[in-house]
Amino acid sequence: MYKPTFTITNNILRFISKIETSKEIIENAPLVPAYEAKFRQEAIIRTVHHGTHIEGNPLDSGEVKDVLEGKEISAKDRDVQEIINYRNVLKYLDRKVTNTASLFRNSEAREGRVFQISEKDLHQIHKLTVEKILRADQSGKYRKTQVVVKNSKTGQISFKPPQPVDVPKLTKEFFGWLNSGESELIHPVLAAGITHYVLAYVHPFVDGNGRTARALATMVLFSRGYDIKKFFSLEEYFDRNAKRYYETLQAVSNQKAESLSDRNLTAWLEYFCEGLAEELARVKERVQKLSLDSRLKGRTGQITLSERQMKLVEYIETYGSVSNRQWRNLLRDYSDDTILRDLKDLQKKKLIKKKGSTKGAVYVLR
């Protein structure tokens, strides 16, 4: 069975500590549902754009957004198809993880068992990744020919993957480890990083391996409690400095090691953990700007407020109070009656209180 080799360095510990801190803040930030939906949609667009761009897809984020919304754009059919395909991959991950997690929660017979991610998932994700791009006999099927890995940015050969005859055995051994109790003892972020590296190294298919490897790594994170509201996109981190991404993979892959298990993954895992830590730190900052003050969160939990009400509460948090003149300037596009209804609703929810007479009234946090 495959067994990864790596060392828990101070860097890895530092990055995972940052990941845990950001995760805690993001998951407990009381956001308006509309904001949560917006964050998730933005993460999907970023993931699809950067996950395909790093492989050479020329479409920009605006064009990707248009494709995902069903709009027609002027681009090559293959480029558009890659976007559609990767969105379908993300849908598969959502569906698979949600359905299986539900079964595990509701079945006593499954207690103590590891969430299973199988070779079948690998084949299905690859099929979705290359739909209408590769031939049917190559879609979701292990390669029968030798390939080389090239940097899509420079065209340089990074390394030569294992012989095709070795692919089924290496893949089977890896999934044996991934679904073992030993794998479950490893921090989910490390397990995801290992998954990404192994599949990128084995290179099971003739094309689409990078996207498939990143998708499986994401599936590991999601299935082990690290979906983090699906607000993040590791692909953006990889794509921002694709040279470093490929060089880090290449440095590990070019080690002189007798077997896959002998390869030391420490440098790759440091890079992988750094990427997730950096991405979540950015998400955390955005979430904190839009979330309610921690005093309110402690008393009210997940509050459902309209965007107008959120602006009112955030203004009060920043300046201590809001007067009639101030809220009229803050929300110029809405009538006085609408804003007064919002203020009364916030008073009913015991988030704010009114001080002073009608004309000179101000609203403050309770």
Active site residues: 203
Whole-angstrom distance, CA of residue 48 vs CA of residue 86: 6
Is residue 212 marked as binding?
yes
Burial of 95 (0-12, 13-18, 19+ CB in 10 A): exposed
**Radius of gyration over every alpha carbon of the chain, rounded to an integer in angstroms:** 24
Is residue 210 marked as binding?
yes
User: In 246-355, where do the E strands start and end?
Assistant: 322-323, 352-355
Residue listed under structure tokens 């009639």: 324
Q: Which two tokens mark 286?
A: 């955005």
Handedness of CA 287, 292, 293, 296 (dihedral sign): negative
Is residue 298 marked as binding?
no
Is residue 209 marked as binding?
yes
HSE-CB of 236 using CA atoms within 13 angstroms:
18
First to last CA, the chain: 60
Identify whether the C-beta of residue 245 lies closer than 8 Å to the C-beta of residue 54: yes
Q: Where are the alpha helices (DSSP H) in 143-223?
A: 167-178, 181-184, 188-202, 209-223
Q: Which two tokens mark 60?
A: 């920009």
Is residue 208 marked as binding?
yes
Strand order in the sheet with 362-365: 322-323, 362-365, 352-355
User: In the chain, where do the E strands start and end?
Assistant: 149-150, 157-159, 322-323, 352-355, 362-365
Is residue 166 marked as binding?
no
- The binding site for ATP consists of 207-214
- The binding site consists of 207-214
